[in-house]
Amino acid sequence: MKTVLITGATSGIGEACARQCLAQGDRVVAICRNLDKARDKFGAEIEAGRFVPLHYDLSCNDQLYKLCMDELKPYSIDRFIHCAGITLMQKVTSTSHDVMLKMFETHVFSLTEIVRALLRLRKSEQELSMLALSSMSSPGLTCIGGAYSMAKASIDYYVRLINKQLNATSRKYLPLTPEQLAAVDALEDEAQKEFVRTKAQAQSGLMVRINSLAPNLIDTPMINYDFLQSQGLNVHLIPMDVVVQEVFNLLENKYVSGKTMVLDIGAID
C-alpha cells in the first residue's frame, strides 16, 4: 500500500485521482481548504482512515512548510499529486498584483513548499514520485490564459530545475529487487557478480522523480465551456479517465523525471 498526498482532492482531476488511489488500495492524505466538502465526498473513507484530510488554504503558504513537517511525518508519503488550482481568463495587462500573487500562491508556491518538506521528510531508501498539473496553455502561449499560464509555465520550469538539482549529477537509483539480488548472489565469480550488480543498478530507475502533466481541457467545475467557445477557441475535451491514467503512468515511470508531458490532442505545433 502506498500513501499518496493529493492537493485539490475534493474536485475534478484531484478527486478522480484520489478515487483511483482508493480503488488501488492506497491511502490518500489530502490537503483541502474545505473539510465539510471532504467529509461529504469521502466520509466513509475518512472513517476507515484511508482518506486523511488536512485543512489548509493554499492561496497563502507562509505556514505550509511547517504544516507539512508536523502533519505529514507519521504518514511516510510515497507519491504526491498536486492538483489544486484556480483559473482566470484575463490578459496580464488587466491583472492586479493581488490576483497575480493568489495565482502563484495556489499553483506554484504551494508546490515548492510541499516538495521542500517531502524531500526533507523522505527516508534515505524511500522512493518518492511527484507530479504537478500544468496546462497546455503553458507551452501553447494563449493570451487569454494570462497569469494562469505564467503560473503553469513556472511549474514546468521548477520541475526541470529541481530534477536537475536531484538527479543530474548525483543520481540516486532504486535498490535492486530481491530477484535481482538473488541472481547476483547465484554467481560464483566475484568480478562477474560486481559487473551484473552494477548493470542491474544502472537499470533500476530513479529513486526521486518529479514531472508535470500539461493537458488540454477536461470537463471539470473549473472549465467554462460556453465562455471558451464564445472566445472562438477550438475546444477539445480530454476524457477524465485518460487524464487519470496519464497521471499514474507518469508517476510510476521510474525512468522519467524533470519532464512536462503534453496531452494536447495535437493542438500545439
Ligand X SMILES: NC(=O)c1ccc[n+]([C@@H]2O[C@H](COP(=O)([O-])OP(=O)(O)OC[C@H]3O[C@@H](n4cnc5c(N)ncnc54)[C@H](OP(=O)(O)O)[C@@H]3O)[C@@H](O)[C@H]2O)c1
Determine the 3-state secondary structure of 40 from DSSP: helix
By CB under 6 A, is residue 153 in contact with ligand X?
A: no
Longest dimension (CA), the chain: 72
Per CB under 6 A, the segment of 29-37, 91-99, 189-197, 244-252 that binds ligand X is 29-37
Per CB under 6 A, the segment of 79-87, 121-129, 158-166, 196-204 that binds ligand X is 79-87
By CB under 6 A, is residue 34 in contact with ligand X?
A: yes
Q: How far is the CB of 203 from ligand X (least distance, A)?
A: 33
Cell, residue 35:
473539510
By CB under 6 A, is residue 111 in contact with ligand X?
A: no
Q: Where are the alpha helices (DSSP H) in the chain?
A: 12-23, 35-47, 64-71, 97-104, 110-121, 137-140, 146-163, 178-185, 190-202, 225-230, 240-252
Selected from 4, 5, 13, 18, the binder of ligand X by CB under 6 A is 13
Please give the radius of gyration of the chain, using alpha carbons only, rounded to the nearest integer: 20
Q: Buried (b) or exposed (e) across 38-58, using 16+ Cβ within 10 A?
A: beebbeebbeeebbbbbebbb
By CB under 6 A, is residue 83 in contact with ligand X?
A: yes
Q: Which residue number, 103 or 162, has a Cβ lying nearer to ligand X?
A: 103
SS3 content of the chain, % helix, strand, coil (to 5): 50, 15, 35
Q: Which residue number, 10 or 260, has a Cβ lying nearer to ligand X?
A: 10
Selected from 115, 118, 130, 217, the binder of ligand X by CB under 6 A is 217
Among positions 113-132, residues that touch ligand X (CB under 6 A) are: none
By CB under 6 A, is residue 85 in contact with ligand X?
A: yes
